[in-house]
Structure 1
């Protein structure tokens, strides 16, 4: 686990969300996970990193994508409700996203500790949100980010 200059630990997370929903989050500067549940958002702390994995382009009828689609850092301690409709009020968390490119997972399967040698590698993604090792984060981030990566 990496520590920042204040000695605080930094953790690394994967969030599983369709690419179209990831785009909305990046545009709005927020994360929304596991169908709007608060618990996964509360597990993350300011300074932690979140990488989105998108199995499909769209939640219901999307095409298969199987790619990491966004990367950002948790900005504060604020987990808040956001009314999307009369019947859906999900929780969100402020994220500062970086410019990045999509990274397909297939070339990385044998490089990531949570997929290496695992026949049913997609199983861990079914949880919707899980912690990864710093080494795994770096493998994915190195592909997604260029040298001049900028926050957006």
Structure 2
């Protein structure tokens, strides 16, 4: 079995501010720094990032796909960010892509089963999707026009 036969596809819901920190540092975090779901990611898996808001606690709605990358390590690693905060991360090789609104893509996504409540699947934080759904998201990001920072 080749690397491509075992590749999985993911969407991670993270506010834009944290996505940008991850892109700059070449990493992603999930589940408020826990490693549980990060362990499901494998080297070579592809991951798209959806940002419902510009920053944590913001009431401003963003609802954009904001980054795209490939998992570049084999296991989560832990960092120290303060006395009581030691989050787990995965290394990600990010592509240079634009940010694009998610709403026009909703009718094309199989994991969205109720268009009236389209945001529910994204609330899981880290969501595995089919190759077809990922292709829709990745294609939009690769074709997208970069939006001004929020």
User: Does TM, normalized by the shorter one, top 0.5?
Assistant: yes
Corresponding residue for residue 34 of structure 1: 31
* 2:3–2:44 CA contact under 8 A, matched in 1: no
Deviation at 1:65, TM superposition (A): 0.6
Q: Mapping of 1:52-131 within 5 angstroms? A: 52-61=49-58, 63-131=60-128
- Higher helix proportion, which one? 2
State the Cα deviation string for residues 76-123 of structure 1 (Å, max 9, x = none): 213111111111111001000000011211101101111254321111
Q: Which runs of 5+ in 1 are unaligned?
A: 147-152
User: Quick one: distance in 1 between partners of 2:76 and 2:5?
Assistant: 20
State the Cα deviation string for residues 18-71 of structure 1 (Å, max 9, x = none): 000000000000011111110111100000001111000001125211111000
**Does 7-16 or 87-96 show the bigger shift?**
7-16
User: Quick one: distance in 2 between partners of 1:62 and 1:91?
Assistant: 27
Superposed CA RMSD: 1.5
Q: Which runs of 5+ in 2 are unaligned?
A: 144-150
* TM-score normalised by length of structure 1: 0.88
Corresponding residue for residue 149 of structure 1: none
* TM-score normalised by length of structure 2: 0.89
The secondary structure found in structure 2 opposite 1:65 is coil
Relative to structure 1, is the Cα distance of residues 72 and 7 closer, same or farther in structure 2, using a 3 angstrom cutoff?
closer
What is the total number of aligned residue pairs between the two structures?
A: 143
The secondary structure found in structure 1 opposite 2:91 is strand
- Higher strand proportion, which one? 1
